[in-house]
Amino acid sequence: MTLAEVRAVVPKVLYQKHTLTGLAYVARDVLCAVVLYKFGWFIDPFARSLVEDYGWPLLFGVVSKWFIWVLYWYWQGIILAGWWCLAHEAGHGTLSHYNSVNHIVGYSLHTVSALISSALQCSNPIKVSSRSLLRLEIHSSRSSQSHHVRGTR
């Protein structure tokens, strides 16, 4: 199966940009992350209350606390990966017809999700050129292997 065959099967409406729909996805993911963050504040007190208020064994309180934290970080990781995907797509200009919306959303989500290097690179061509420059610097620093970089023979 070729890429052209896959694209032919996908309905054309899915290729259209809708600013409000894109912003609704962003709002949904931000809301999910905030709600889960607020839930995280109750994990330790809940585990402590199992031991102190209900008389459960200390080991059960500790195990339940860490089990809930693992679930928390799993789901928070899924949500923040969604932030990254939305920011990445905004960087490609697929979130909205308005470049300013794409830049603001991409920069904001990358910054908040601690991807500062991605946030500083506002558009995809800059990302690609900086990666190319990084590869050039790495290869150039190895004088014995500099012939691997195009145009340095």
How high is the pLDDT of residue 102? 92
How high is the pLDDT of residue 134? 45
b/e per residue 7-35 (b: at least 16 CB within 10 A): eeeeeeeeeeeeeeebeebbeebbebbee
Torsion of CA 111, 115, 116, 122, to 10 degrees: -80
Furthest-apart CA pair in the chain: how many Å?
74
Residue with tokens 């990445």: 88
The low-confidence residues of the chain, meaning pLDDT below 70, are 114-153
How high is the pLDDT of residue 7? 87
How high is the pLDDT of residue 126? 47
N-term to C-term CA, the chain: 40
How high is the pLDDT of residue 153? 43
pTM: 0.68
* Long-range contacts of residues 26-30, Cβ cutoff 8 Å, at least 24 apart: 26/86, 26/95, 26/105, 26/109, 29/79, 29/82, 29/83, 29/86, 30/83
How high is the pLDDT of residue 46? 95
How high is the pLDDT of residue 144? 43
How high is the pLDDT of residue 138? 43
How high is the pLDDT of residue 132? 46
Q: How many CA atoms lie within 13 A of 133 on its CB side?
A: 6
